[in-house]
């Protein structure tokens, strides 16, 4: 793992997560643990309305924290109820936090290769619907990262479990002096919670 990213993760303090929030994260821990215990695939599809901010941050941090804790048989995807584009501030925030990111397709919906380790496969990030062929089509957990998608998408075909985490949208601060701070705050929250989730997984 890139040293700057590892250093960032090392100092994330999971003790700040409230007991109420830990209870919300528990179903995700139980799902991952159950799949591991039964030698099943661990596929997570992180879903938000536009697949532009929270779902990508969640996908990237889930994949990265799994690697950090030595859990390699996991694939994290993301999707939305509609496709738009990854919001550029998400990319800027992740670079600041230690990821190496390259745009591999420049268009209205750019495709990014996001790397957390020199030798691990890059996370491929672009905006898409949750049922896009790029994503797992069956035997996955649908992890809802925003309340709008959770409320307006009651059925996710192929999912064997549905889990609601729901994060506040940093989009509320777009174009304001607080934008950079709020994107970093949301990314850090998600990273901290994913660190907690994967720290709770028993590998033996």
Domains of the chain: 3-199 (3.40.50.2300)
Task: Kindly report, residue by residue over 78-119, the tens digit of the pLDDT.
Answer: 999 899 999 999 999 999 999 999 999 989 999 999 999 999
Q: How far apart are CA 61 and CA 102, in angstroms?
A: 17
Exposed (0-12), middle (13-18) or buried (19+): which is 53, by Cβ within 10 Å?
A: buried
pTM (2 decimals)? 0.96
Q: What is the pLDDT of residue 47?
A: 95
Could you tell me if 75 and 42 are in contact, meaning their C-beta atoms sit under 8 angstroms apart?
A: yes
- Take residue 65 and report the two structure tokens written for it: 């924290």
Name the more confident of 151 and 42.
42
Task: Kindly report, residue by residue over 147-191, the tens digit of the pLDDT.
Answer: 776 566 667 999 999 999 999 999 999 999 999 999 999 999 999
Place of tokens 């100092």: 11
The mean pLDDT value of the chain amounts to 95
CB atoms within 10 A of CB 134: 12
Could you tell me if 201 and 34 are in contact, meaning their C-beta atoms sit under 8 angstroms apart?
A: no
């Amino acid at each position: 793992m890139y040293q700057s990213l590892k250093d960032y993760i090392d100092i994330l303090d999971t003790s700040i997560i409230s007991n109420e929030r830990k209870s919300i994260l528990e179903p995700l821990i139980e799902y991952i643990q159950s799949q591991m215990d039964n030698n099943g695939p661990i596929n997570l599809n992180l879903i938000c309305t536009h697949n532009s901010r929270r779902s990508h941050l969640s996908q990237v941090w889930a994949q990265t924290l799994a690697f950090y804790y030595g859990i390699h048989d996991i694939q994290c995807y993301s999707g939305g109820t509609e496709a738009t584009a990854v919001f550029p501030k998400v990319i800027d925030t992740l670079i600041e936090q230690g990821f190496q990111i390259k745009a591999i397709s420049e268009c209205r919906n750019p495709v990014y290769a996001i790397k957390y380790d020199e030798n691990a496969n890059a996370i491929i990030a672009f905006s898409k619907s949750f049922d896009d062929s790029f994503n797992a089509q069956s035997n996955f957990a649908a992890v809802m990262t925003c309340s709008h998608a959770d409320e307006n998408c009651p059925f996710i075909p192929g999912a064997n479990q549905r889990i609601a985490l729901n994060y506040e949208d940093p989009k509320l601060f777009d174009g304001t002096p607080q934008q950079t701070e709020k994107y970093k705050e949301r990314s850090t929250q998600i990273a901290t919670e994913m660190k907690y989730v994967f720290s709770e997984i028993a590998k033996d």
